[in-house]
Amino acid sequence: MGAGKNRFVAQKVPLRPRAIWSTSRFQPKLLKRSYKVSFPVQIDEKVNVDKLISSIKSRDYTIGIIGLGYVGIPLALAACRAGFNVIGFDIDQARVDQLNRGESAIKHISTIAIDEAVKNKRFVATSQFDRLTDTDCIIIAVPTPLSKHREPDLTYIEKTAETITQHLRKGQLVVLESTTWPGTTDEVMRPRLEQSGLRSGIDFFLAFSPEREDPGNEEFSTSTIPKVVGADGEDALRIARAVYDALIVRTVPVSSSKTAEAVKLTENIFRSVNIALVNELKLIYDKMGIDVWEVIDAAKTKPFGFMPFYPGPGLGGHCIPIDPFYLTWKAREFDVTTRFIELAGQINTSMPHYVVDRLAEALDRSAGTGLSKARVLIIGVAYKKNIDDMRESPSLRLIEILEARGAQTDFHDPHIPVIPMTREHSALAGRTSISLSHSAVSGYDVVLIATDHDAVDYKALAASARLVVDTRNACARRDVVSDHIVKA
């Protein structure tokens, strides 16, 4: 506990009981005695919230960020630009060393910005978690994957909370940013943190503010995307808002951490179900001989009541393929079925199989050959264009399905020279990207465009390829049209 003042307080102190004889059955009976005595006891002082907020405004306030990945690093840089000192925490010592050299661990994040923050002594990375005591605010940005049974895996959150508990001190703010089911902050984080002996809302403060990172988005950055904030009590909300008000263009306060957790899931479920809709429309319109991309491009000219979403080879990234299952799992606790959400998940996860079927059909029609022993070149293994992020990339699933059906695969990705180790696709780790020379491309039976990176010359690619299967409409958008280009 934090330091308090000593006061003399009168309390009743028990003396040793003495036996007396009861008039009933001559049984001895204990008589309790006590008297009052005054002695010093510790009375804890209440945390001065106004003083904390004043420290935030004056930048006499150190921010700690646990998890130096796609969310943590941009947030750290935003805090440095706002004038705060930042300590970044990560268990990956190689990443810690790289950041302390001023180097970016992620391609779309500027090395110049990291180097500047390090040289100005605004930012330091460490794997020593005892330094959490040096921070005033601890922001958690760790992964929240699914288990093999597609259930929430909160291992990273739980272990992080247990680590913080060992170093938690009075007056600190703890903010969870990792996407999770509604109630995690209250039901998982708070009980663990309170094992320190400190109390949420009294001794330390607890909040949830969902990350809204969109890797590679040049229009919006961390500091220009409004931030939703919910907290455990009014004081925690005031402090959390003061922190994010200093970093972000606008904060959006909500009534509770649980509500803020639900906001994040709602945002991504909205995207998941709409992508599932256009994926299903793609299947229908393909049978009718209608180009779904042409339909969407025409429909989006309506200035109201329509928002364009686009089909693809499957969902990728950390959010959309995973987040809906966090809500469907939690909903079972309340005996609520999530048929619509789960149906969208089924449609989206089936898309890699549909793409492979279309590829096999196109190969049969164009060359009269089957998929077995066919050489397939996949363009793009990142989950979206122009970044090096492979989290949940559908390209990895495409490779597995193709090879299970007897095909030989290679890939080209201008942003990912080597496939790193992943939890779900460890057998693919170490494979290297090939060059797109004419001789290389022409040696494949079919080229499959899975990610539409801008760095690829699609005109030259189509000219060299025997057959192109395009899942992103990449060729048509660049006016590259040919009978040997098939949309899927």
User: Using one digit for the tens of pLDDT, what is the confidence trace for 286-299?
Assistant: 999 999 999 999 99
Average pLDDT rounded to a whole number, residues 169-183 = 98
- Reported as type and span, the H/E element at residue 126 is strand 123-126
> Partners of 85 in the beta sheet?
62
pTM over 0.85? The answer is yes
Report the CATH fold assignment for 49-255: Rossmann fold (3.40.50)
User: Using one digit for the tens of pLDDT, what is the confidence trace for 327-358?
Assistant: 999 999 999 999 999 999 999 999 999 999 99
pLDDT value, residue 36: 40
Q: What are phi and psi of 140, to 5 degrees?
A: -105, 120
Average pLDDT rounded to a whole number, residues 46-64 = 97
Average pLDDT rounded to a whole number, residues 60-66 = 98
pLDDT value, residue 2: 40
Level-2 CATH architecture, domain 312-487: 3-Layer(aba) Sandwich (3.40)
Between the alpha carbon of residue 112 and those of residues 18, 108, 164, 346, 348, the distances in Å are 79, 11, 31, 42, 38
CA-to-CA distance for 438 and 277, rounded, in angstroms? 38
What is the 8-class DSSP label of residue 313? Answer: S
> Is 67 a residue whose pLDDT tops 90?
yes
Q: Which residue has the higher pLDDT, 42 or 151?
A: 151
In the three-class reduction of DSSP (H, G, I as helix; E, B as strand; rest coil), residue 4 is classed as strand
pLDDT band at 50 (very low <50, low <70, confident <90, very high): very high
Q: Check if the beta carbon of residue 132 is closer than 8 Å to that of residue 89.
A: yes
pLDDT value, residue 318: 77
> Is 378 a residue whose pLDDT tops 50?
yes
pLDDT value, residue 41: 37
Among 3-7, 70-74, 221-225, 418-422, the range scoring the smallest mean pLDDT is 3-7
Average pLDDT rounded to a whole number, residues 468-485 = 97
pLDDT value, residue 10: 39
User: Using one digit for the tens of pLDDT, what is the confidence trace for 12-42?
Assistant: 434 333 332 333 333 333 333 343 433 343 4
CA-to-CA distance for 86 and 124, rounded, in angstroms? 7
CA-to-CA distance for 198 and 202, rounded, in angstroms? 8
In the three-class reduction of DSSP (H, G, I as helix; E, B as strand; rest coil), residue 417 is classed as coil
Q: Check if the beta carbon of residue 66 is closer than 8 Å to that of residue 138.
A: yes
pLDDT value, residue 24: 34
pLDDT value, residue 46: 85
pLDDT value, residue 44: 62
Mean pLDDT, the chain, as a whole number?
91
Helices (H), 368-485: 394-404, 438-441, 458-464
pLDDT band at 45 (very low <50, low <70, confident <90, very high): confident
Amino acid at 80: C
Return the residue matching tokens 């040289």: 119
Q: Where are the domains positioned within the chain?
A: 4-44, 49-255, 312-487
pLDDT value, residue 149: 82
Between the alpha carbon of residue 139 and those of residues 132, 211, 218, 327, the distances in Å are 11, 11, 24, 23
Percent of the chain with pLDDT over 70: 91
User: DSSP letters along 285-296, please?
Assistant: HHHHT--HHHHH
Question: Which positions are annotated as active-site residues?
Answer: 319
pLDDT value, residue 230: 98
Residue 306, token pair as written in the block = 């329509």
CA-to-CA distance for 2 and 203, rounded, in angstroms? 8
Among 1-10, 148-157, 373-382, 394-403, the range scoring the smallest mean pLDDT is 1-10
User: Using one digit for the tens of pLDDT, what is the confidence trace for 252-280?
Assistant: 999 999 999 999 999 999 999 999 999 99
pLDDT value, residue 248: 97
User: Using one digit for the tens of pLDDT, what is the confidence trace for 78-112?
Assistant: 999 999 999 999 999 999 999 999 999 888 898 99
Nearest to residue 135, comparing CAs of 101, 103, 163?
163
> Is 427 a residue whose pLDDT tops 80?
yes
Task: Work out the number of other CB atoms within 10 angstroms of the CB of residue 76.
Answer: 28
Q: Check if the beta carbon of residue 167 is closer than 8 Å to that of residue 203.
A: no
pLDDT value, residue 13: 38
CA-to-CA distance for 186 and 194, rounded, in angstroms? 11
Residue 378, token pair as written in the block = 């996949």
pLDDT value, residue 102: 97
CA-to-CA distance for 90 and 187, rounded, in angstroms? 24
pLDDT band at 1 (very low <50, low <70, confident <90, very high): very low
What count of Cα atoms within 13 Å lies in the side-chain half-sphere of residue 238? 12
pLDDT value, residue 117: 97
Beta strands 446-449 and 4-14, pairing class: unpaired
pLDDT value, residue 26: 30
Task: Work out the number of other CB atoms within 10 angstroms of the CB of residue 293.
Answer: 18
CA-to-CA distance for 153 and 278, rounded, in angstroms? 29
